[in-house]
Structure 1
Amino acid sequence: MTTTLLQPGQIEAAAGSIPELRLPPADLFLMRARRLEQLAAGHTLGNYLRFVAHLAHAQQKYLDTGLAASLPAPELLAQCREYRMPPLAPAGLARPSGWRDTARHLALAVQDSLPQAGQAALQPVLEGQDAWLEAQAGYLLDGSLHELDAAAAPVIGAALQVHWVHLARQLDSTQVARPEHPSLCPVCGSHPVSSVVRIGGAENGLRYLHCALCSSEWHVVRAKCSNCDNTRGIVYHHLEGGDNGVRAESCPECQTYLKIVLQDKNPQADPVADDLASLALDLLMDETGFVRSGINWYLIQGSV
């Protein structure tokens, strides 16, 4: 089922009143884990959603330990802002020390929640050499998905997320400029997972893209394609009889789609958890010929 979107200007907030950037909250992974547990009940992907919930709980535990990595030097942050560059872009930032140990700890934390085949899939993370883990991280960060160990990727990605969320939380929003490429995260330059329409306060009714790596969010108006800025022919797709709180927004110009999660339908909705739980909508969009413009690191599928 499809629904045509509103036209530009019909749902935008007054100029100057929009919070452009939302940095990740302290309880990010805890809230995500709780939402995944809600979604798992009676879901056909229930076992996998519960596994990811367990992984998110482990991510929160390691985020709460107070990791040692610190931000780049103030002069570099200022230069990035001046030239509208993401200050935490992986290409210009050494991977935080300890991320490989975090990956191994996360794999160990979730191992017992998996069947035997799943436990075997995590052995490369637990036993792999540092060079292998670094290579896998590089494939994930670069979007080289054909070279990635897809079974190990959720844990490797989860470890990277912990460290980049930790870094992003040390920033002040004034240190980050609007991105030169609005389809990419202004904090780290990564692709979004999905977009989310927030409720409450100054953000009420506003759409934000949610970063796959650092979980920062940046504002994009709802009446245009989040991938190419086209404003014509944007269409919503949803599963008939399914959850109308998650829709796929398609663009006829670039032939891509990205999901939009509506918190007014469910205040607990999470842009990562609800995206993962609506895999059937991705299958529908694949049949229509549209290509996904974002990526969910908990389940590697689609293209970026």
Structure 2
Amino acid sequence: MNDYLQVNRANWNARVPIHVGSAFYDVEGFKAGRDPLRPFEIDEVGEVAGRTLAHLQCHFGLDTLGWARRGAEVTGLDFSEPAIEQARRIAAECGIPAKFVTADVYDAPEALGERYDIVYTGVGALVWLPDLTRWAETVAALLKPGGSLYIAEFHPFADVLDDETGAKVTHHYFDPGPHVWEYPYTYTGSEILEYQTSVQFRHELGEIVSAVAAAGLRVEFLHEHDHTVFRRFPTLTEDGGVYRMPGDAPRIPLMFSLRASAGSAPPPAADSPASSSGPTA
């Protein structure tokens, strides 16, 4: 547990060159104008032109740069220096103005040194964080008064289902971890990773919403979606670029999105006496 950050950083550093060269991320398509953002995200976040946006756990920044193309003044943060180097390279090659910073997400207020109109976190981010209370406090410290947090994530309910069909409950829902995984591949293909160990943490939907609310943010909506962005189970069928349960199979939540707003008074800093959690590493 004490080494989770170092273990995960090595794992994600190893993923960077594989991901950048993968068809899954399609960097060349992005350079040619492909939009990496999901349509429901664009609709739910709303107009971003002229607004400042911080993307936490941005990986190598395609989604960050997608918001920049829509007019946002973007800053991406990630704990992987190779990922940030790639983000800066892609931004420069595309002529997109963007700032990228290497830091752990819990250190974001100090590393970024400013507040934002929007804090955005994309799919597959929360599972890498052991302490959502501290994470939500970090987000609150980054928001301007009246600013908003937006999350688009995989629904935790999908993690209780069997991997073969997605039709049977075979795993515990209340099972926070840490879960240590040894897996030779990343999700983009068959190239073997140099560092194959990762540490992940499961968070129930109630835990996520409660952490956001406890940080002083007002939840505006929580939407559950019956589709996901990849074939999570072999039985899922593609439908307009997303994946759903087939035919007459029961519809289940596969993703969720949440938006919450900061009040008019600035929130306390994440490391202030008002913060209820200490260091995690």
Determine if the TM-score, normalized by the shorter chain, exceeds 0.5: no
Give the structure with the higher percent strand: 2
What TM-score does the superposition give when structure 1 sets the normalisation length?
0.27
The answer to which structure, 1 or 2, has the higher relative contact order (CA under 8 A, 6+ apart) is 1
What TM-score does the superposition give when structure 2 sets the normalisation length?
0.28
